[in-house]
Amino acid sequence: MKFQLVVLSGTPGTGKTTVARTLSGIMDVKWVSLGDLVRDKELFLGVDTERGSLIADVDRLIPEIGRLAEEAEGRLIVEGHYAEVTPKDWVEKAIILRTHPKELWRRLAERGWSEGKIRENVQAEILGVCTYNAVEAYGWELVYEVDTTSKTPEETIKEVLEIISGGGDKYRVGRISWLRQLEKEGELEKYF
């Protein structure tokens, strides 16, 4: 392993930035938000006008993550909803934050986002897109999921620390399925 990075991914609103910031302080390890990095260093190909977001230039972003990791002597928390672009041999663990669609909708509405943008992100959360992408990039062994729904940020950080320190077996991928849950609650149609 070239570096020992902690990758923190999840749909927007699941709590990545909140968790990364505090975790960084507790672990005394630097953190980087890929969204901020792309914006600040202009590592984008263009603007997605429909979504009002930047289209990351991954080919330039990856070496930049590498430079920051080098500077941080191999220890870094990398946070972003496409953080699985971080190469596998740099990654110690990937932790995906998950949030029940109803609660995620509430958090994103608080940001003043349009219904269309909220729906698109909530649908991605229901389908587990970030988890899928992380598993595809790293394999099941490196990927963990934490449910933030009825937790405080402090409780979530505690669970993330548990995973990082090696006690993460109960956070393995497979437990969280919003599809299953919404079907049980009779709420699935509401989101599609």
Ligand X SMILES: Nc1ncnc2c1ncn2[C@@H]1O[C@H](COP(=O)(O)OP(=O)(O)O)[C@@H](O)[C@H]1O
Binding site partner of 153, from ligand X, Mg ion, none, Cβ cut-off 5-8 A by kind:
ligand X
Q: What is the DSSP letter of 50?
A: T
Binding site partner of 151, from ligand X, Mg ion, none, Cβ cut-off 5-8 A by kind:
ligand X
Binding site partner of 80, from ligand X, Mg ion, none, Cβ cut-off 5-8 A by kind:
none
Interface segment toward ligand X; rule CB under 6 A; list 14-22, 43-51, 87-95, 125-133? 14-22
User: Distance between CA 112 and CA 64 in Å, rounded?
Assistant: 31
Give min distance, CB of 113 to ligand X, in A: 11
Residue 161 and residue 147 in contact, taking contact as beta carbons nearer than 8 Å: no
| Single residue of 153, 162, 188, 191 touching ligand X by CB under 6 A | 153
Note whether 18 binds ligand X by CB under 6 A.
yes
User: Distance between CA 33 and CA 170 in Å, rounded?
Assistant: 27
The percent helix, strand, coil of the chain (3-state, each to 5) is 55, 20, 30
User: Distance between CA 30 and CA 95 in Å, rounded?
Assistant: 16
Q: Which of 44, 188, 28 is nearest to 123 (CA)?
A: 188
| Single residue of 148, 160, 178, 182 touching ligand X by CB under 6 A | 148
Give min distance, CB of 17 to Mg ion, in A: 3
For Mg ion, the closer of residues 21 and 88 by Cβ is 21
Note whether 13 binds ligand X by CB under 6 A.
yes
Containing H/E element for 98?
strand 91-98
| Single residue of 7, 15, 65, 125 touching ligand X by CB under 6 A | 15
Residue 7 and residue 94 in contact, taking contact as beta carbons nearer than 8 Å: yes
User: Distance between CA 159 and CA 4 in Å, rounded?
Assistant: 19
Site mask, ligand X, residues 23-62, x = CB under 6 A?
----------------------------------------
The one-letter amino acid code at 1 reads: M
Q: Under the rule (CB under 6 A), what is the footprint of ligand X?
A: 10, 12-19, 107, 148, 151-153, 156
